[in-house]
Amino acid sequence: MRAAYKNIARVVRPHGTKGEVLVAPLRGLPLLLTESMRVHLTPPALKRERTSTVESLSVTPEGARVRFSCAHNLDDAESLTGCYVLASCDDFELGRLDSAVGDLLGRSVVDERFGDLGSIVEVMETPANDVWVLDGSSHGEVLVPVIDEVIVELPEEGAITVRIMDGLLDL
């Protein structure tokens, strides 16, 4: 069986002249990169190895500063700008509620009591937690806080099951 892979970060820009780049986790995910992690930088380039290793990593106020084994100078680093960092799911662990925003948009959300609430059309970031904005035919716009007390099941695919708190739906 083949290992599952997931985009976990994106290269933002070069940093310095020695091949380092600034990397940002995909929105909704924590920084999952670790030193010695083998990754794929996508889309692949003809003049670059398909697989690279994280040689060094340091967290700075502007993002994670990373050196990949395929980048040795500024030109190499510039060629990585905009690339996604794809990693084997065996090499990192997500928290129960961690999910990239791109993986959530369009997903159906079903409440245990009220049934189909609609699909996720936006993810709002708030200081306390993320909030899913749902659009559905039965209840219109519904705001769902992404917290343990509300999210019952968040599978990789298919409908997400929630337990809406009293007062969140206009009934």
pLDDT of 2 above 80: no
Do 110 and 164 contact (CB within 8 A), yes or no? no
In eight-state DSSP terms, residue 165 is P
Do 100 and 150 contact (CB within 8 A), yes or no? no
What is the average pLDDT value for the chain, to the nearest integer? 90
Q: What is the pLDDT of residues 61-97, one digit of tens each?
A: 888 999 999 999 999 999 999 999 999 999 998 888 8
Q: What average pLDDT score do residues 34-44 get? A: 93
111, containing H or E segment: strand 108-111
Domains of the chain with bracketed CATH: 5-91 (2.40.30.60), 101-162 (2.30.30.240)
131, containing H or E segment: strand 130-136
Residue with tokens 């961690």: 98
Do 132 and 109 contact (CB within 8 A), yes or no? yes
Q: How far apart are CA 166 and CA 171, in angstroms?
A: 10
pLDDT of 1 above 50: no
Cα radius of gyration (the chain): 19
pTM: 0.76
Do 83 and 11 contact (CB within 8 A), yes or no? yes
The residues with which 120 forms a beta bridge, in sequence order, are 134
